[in-house]
Amino acid sequence: MVESSGSQAFEMSGTEILYEQNNAQVGVVGGWLLSGQTKIVNQSTGQTEQPVKISSPGDPLAFLPIPTSSTIIGKSPTSYDMNNKPPNNTLSAGIYCGGLTVGNTNGATFTMSPGTYIMAGGGLTLNSLAVVKGSGVTVYSTSSTGWGCSGSYSYTPITISGQANVNLSAPSTGALADVLLFGDRAGCSKVGSCEDQINGGSSTTFNGAMYFKSDTLLITGSNAAGCMMAVADIIDINGNSSFSISGCTGTFGGVSVSVTPTAATLYGGQTQQFSATVLNTSNTAVTWSISPSGSGTISTSGLYTAPSSISTQQSVTVTATSQAEPTVSSSATVTLMPPISVSVTPTAATLYGGQTQQFSATVLNTSNTAVTWAISPTGTGTINSSGLYAAPATISTQQTVIVTATSQANTTASASAAVTLKPKTSQTISFTANSPVTYPVSPITLSATASSGLPVIFSVLSGPATVSGSTLTITGVGTVVVAANQAGNT
């Protein structure tokens, strides 16, 4: 991304090739010049591409803080090579008044310890045949003003020779996470007049952002690899450069994205508003997406709508991707549930005044199985929170009461049962007396019916006889009196 509005803000010349991975593009506010045999290649498709015109995004790393005070390591310009080696071939993080230069190490590897290296004037220079490595390293280039140096040293661009063997990676945590080279935003007296030179060689690897807001960044050499981000006023790629941006697994500048809520459960047609928080970048915009695609919709503002019909339980991943750093994203999980169903047992009952009936409800497809009980018409008896229905004490006419259980998880889901309320009624019994018989006699079958249709019970009131069900057995000579009774059901 090149923010300069100049007519040649992005320039490539010679025979260099810029390979883009993960469908990346070169975005330029101003113009560009690709001369000679230069080309930009989409490594995924193999197709040659041109830069794309973009609106000014502002400084994407404007949020980065400048380093705080540190220990002075070099009180005057510091230089190391094969004849003047640092202790144990190890460089210490801290303030270098007048800068740091590493020359020919004669094959020895000088290791930069993790930390922030402040070039208080003089810049960083890695000359030909220097072998330097380090991880967790940030180099901040500025002037000596305010850093406690006894001398005065002006801002000097960074220079890395193509014949140097350099393998550097930025820290993965902290305020300067993933920032490798950082130039003072106001280092140059005239924007673009300072030129930082990264002359990559076959053994050069940079992992981290190269941030020179007011400088020109010149990248040359046969090869430079690693996970890099380049931010500068002008970026110039020339020579026989062929460098790639690969192996990226983290974020640049500590950009982070979080999504809230992290989980939601929805039914057909319901919605959930998600929000994304983006830190460590001035561009807080995100792109929303869902997976699997087609399992609902999500708007540009993060409003997710579930499909109108859901037949089986399923999960959908809602993802917010940083537009400032597309490798950074965060996700939430939506559980889509089939419709809640409610059933009531028993489905019907017949009651008389003052009687009760216990109902139960079964709720499926939700963890909240609670229901709310209700009756209609209201006032025709009572029902408690556990589903126990009590009929009115007095019922004058037959009527029907509907008992309903409504899901508390989804008030559109309910089920009902019907209760028939019957009034008390009088009844008569028809009982035909038997003709006299001569003892001994076989058992006699009694017959009687009640107008209510309810079963009749026989009993011997007096005389030599017994009764079992409707069978009367005479046990001697005499008069037998049998009664037929029906007590009713109320």
Nearest CA to 213 out of 243, 237, 188 is that of 188
- Domain 256-337 coded CATH 2.60.40.60: yes
- Asked which of 79-83, 428-432, 480-484 is least confident by mean pLDDT, the reply is 428-432
Amino acid at 335: T
Whether the model pTM is above 0.75: no
More confident residue, 147 or 253: 147
**Average predicted confidence (pLDDT) for the chain:** 89
Q: Supply the DSSP string of 330-368, one letter for each residue.
A: EEEEEEEEPPPEEEEESSEEEEETT-EEE-EEEEESSS-
- Asked which of 22-36, 135-149, 325-339, 408-422 is least confident by mean pLDDT, the reply is 22-36
Compute the average pLDDT of residues 437-451: 92
Per-residue confidence (pLDDT) for residue 410, from 0 to 100: 86
More confident residue, 108 or 161: 108
Residues 341-422, CATH architecture? Sandwich (2.60)
Per-residue confidence (pLDDT) for residue 22, from 0 to 100: 65
In our burial notation (b when 16+ CB lie closer than 10 A, e otherwise), range 251-273 reads: bbbbbbbebeeeebbbbeebebe
Q: State the Cα torsion 149-78-142-68 to the nearest 10°.
A: -60
Per-residue confidence (pLDDT) for residue 201, from 0 to 100: 62
More confident residue, 25 or 91: 91
- Asked which of 120-124, 288-292, 422-426, 469-473 is least confident by mean pLDDT, the reply is 422-426
User: pLDDT digit string (tens) for 228-260?
Assistant: 678 888 888 765 554 555 555 554 556 789 999
Which residues, at least 6 apart from 221, have a Cβ–Cβ distance to it below 8 Å?
162, 198, 199, 200, 201, 204, 239, 240, 241, 243
Per-residue confidence (pLDDT) for residue 253, from 0 to 100: 53
- CA-to-CA distance for 16 and 220, rounded, in angstroms? 8
Say whether pLDDT at 487 is over 80. Answer: no
Say whether pLDDT at 223 is over 70. Answer: no
Nearest CA to 123 out of 72, 158, 148, 97 is that of 158
Compute the average pLDDT of residues 89-104: 97
Per-residue confidence (pLDDT) for residue 65, from 0 to 100: 83
* CB-side neighbour CA atoms (13 Å) of 362: 6
Say whether pLDDT at 119 is over 60. Answer: yes
Compute the average pLDDT of residues 60-83: 90
Question: pLDDT band at residue 151, thresholds of 50, 70 and 90?
Answer: very high
CA angle 349, 352, 356 (to 5 degrees): 60
- Asked which of 4-8, 211-215, 417-421 is least confident by mean pLDDT, the reply is 4-8
Q: Which two tokens stand for residue 20?
A: 């883009």
Question: pLDDT band at residue 61, thresholds of 50, 70 and 90?
Answer: confident
Per-residue confidence (pLDDT) for residue 2, from 0 to 100: 74
Say whether pLDDT at 415 is over 60. Answer: yes
